[in-house]
């Protein structure tokens, strides 16, 4: 069999582990030829393909990012995109595709299967951890580890200078990184999109804390928003498309806390550092397991499904499980974060 592979959407640590597993398992166990596409679905549309051998993936397990490059491109949103995908698959004589991506890239994969009948197996990756159907996605563990270390480091400088430290973390529509890293790093207040905040209540909690501690750590997801009906003089933090403006909510929360409490307050925006660098052992392992499961599935004739971690097991879920949905931080975890 001849199988194509691509990585789409935002990059994250652990992608290369999945690519490596597909190539090594596909060539040695199944006798497949593996073809890599540059820059996600854009590479499939443009026919930007090259063969991948075991030598090509040697040494990439510990490397962050993706050796294939990535882009935010969906064939069903490009004029003639589906026809171009069909043409590329025919020209390359492919028997199927393995698509590694987040919710947008996997949704595009589902549309390709529906419109063309081309066999596709997906692998979920996103530091946001918001793909429905899987306990976790490639990249999430590394992002949380990076964010937790940053919060750890802020404690000492916050205490030394008697400051409130606000750290803005990625998470446009769900607060998985902010909640989990905030809890692991001992943040005093955690703001997530799932629970709109009351800035006056936050200021009150900080003033109360500073009666016995001279510093506070506030972890804020970039998609956190003020609750309707609460006092908020800050500028807009969401753009016209409904997406967060990076750095905006952190800046506004920092300014508001200082104004309401009188305590010196400083902002750290981690931004893309959460996506980069060496993947953790957990992401290397998950990427490897997902890669093995994906190539095994497509060789076995499966299509229209994605790999998922459920408990200790890797299973296959239909694309319909995640399309048009978001995996929110559960109420129990939000309550646990709020109660610390």
The residues that are catalytic are 128
CB count within 10 Å of CB 262 equals 11
| Both tokens assigned to 19 | 């690519």
Question: Across the chain, where does the E strand assignment appear?
Answer: 2-7, 33-37, 49-52, 96-101, 120-124, 164-169, 189-191, 216-221, 265-269, 305-310, 313-318
The answer to whether residues 221 and 274 touch, using CB atoms and an 8 Å cutoff, is no
The answer to whether residues 128 and 324 touch, using CB atoms and an 8 Å cutoff, is no
CB count within 10 Å of CB 159 equals 15
The answer to whether residues 129 and 136 touch, using CB atoms and an 8 Å cutoff, is yes
Largest CA distance in the chain: 70
Stated as kind and residue range, the H or E segment containing 108 is helix 103-116
What is the rounded distance in angstroms from the CA atom of residue 169 to the CA atom of residue 247? 9
- Find tokens 């009351």 and name the residue: 198
The answer to whether residues 113 and 120 touch, using CB atoms and an 8 Å cutoff, is yes
């Amino acid at each position: 069999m001849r199988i194509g592979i691509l990585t789409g959407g935002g990059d994250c640590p652990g992608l290369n582990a999945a690519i490596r597993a597909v190539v090594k398992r596909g060539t040695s166990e199944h006798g497949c030829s593996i073809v890599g596409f540059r820059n996600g679905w854009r590479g499939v549309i443009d026919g930007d393909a090259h063969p991948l051998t075991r030598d090509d993936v040697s040494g990439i397990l510990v490397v962050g990012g993706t050796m294939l490059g990535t882009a935010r491109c969906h064939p069903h949103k490009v004029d003639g995109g589906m026809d171009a995908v069909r043409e590329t698959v025919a020209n390359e004589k492919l028997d199927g595709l393995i698509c590694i991506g987040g919710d947008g890239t996997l949704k595009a994969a589902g549309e390709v299967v529906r419109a063309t009948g081309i066999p596709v197996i997906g692998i979920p990756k996103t530091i946001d951890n918001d793909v429905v159907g899987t306990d976790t996605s490639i990249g999430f563990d590394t992002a949380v580890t990076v964010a937790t270390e940053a919060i750890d480091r802020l404690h000492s400088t916050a205490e030394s200078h008697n400051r409130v430290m606000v750290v803005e973390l990625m998470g446009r529509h769900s607060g998985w990184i902010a909640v989990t890293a905030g809890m692991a790093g001992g943040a005093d207040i955690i703001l997530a999109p799932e629970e709109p905040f009351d800035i006056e209540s936050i200021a009150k909690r900080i003033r109360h804390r500073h009666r016995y501690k001279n510093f506070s750590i506030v972890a804020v997801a970039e998609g956190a928003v003020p609750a309707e009906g609460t006092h908020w003089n800050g500028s807009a933090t969401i753009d016209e498309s409904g997406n967060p403006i990076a750095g905006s909510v952190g800046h506004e929360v920092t300014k508001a806390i200082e104004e309401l409490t009188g305590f010196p307050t400083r902002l750290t925006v981690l931004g893309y550092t959460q996506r980069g660098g060496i993947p953790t052992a957990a992401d290397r392992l998950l990427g490897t397991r997902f890669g093995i499961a994906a190539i095994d599935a497509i060789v076995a004739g499966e299509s229209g499904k994605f790999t998922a971690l459920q408990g200790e097991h890797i299973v296959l879920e239909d694309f319909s499980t995640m399309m048009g949905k978001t995996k929110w931080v559960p109420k129990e975890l939000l309550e646990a974060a709020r109660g610390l």
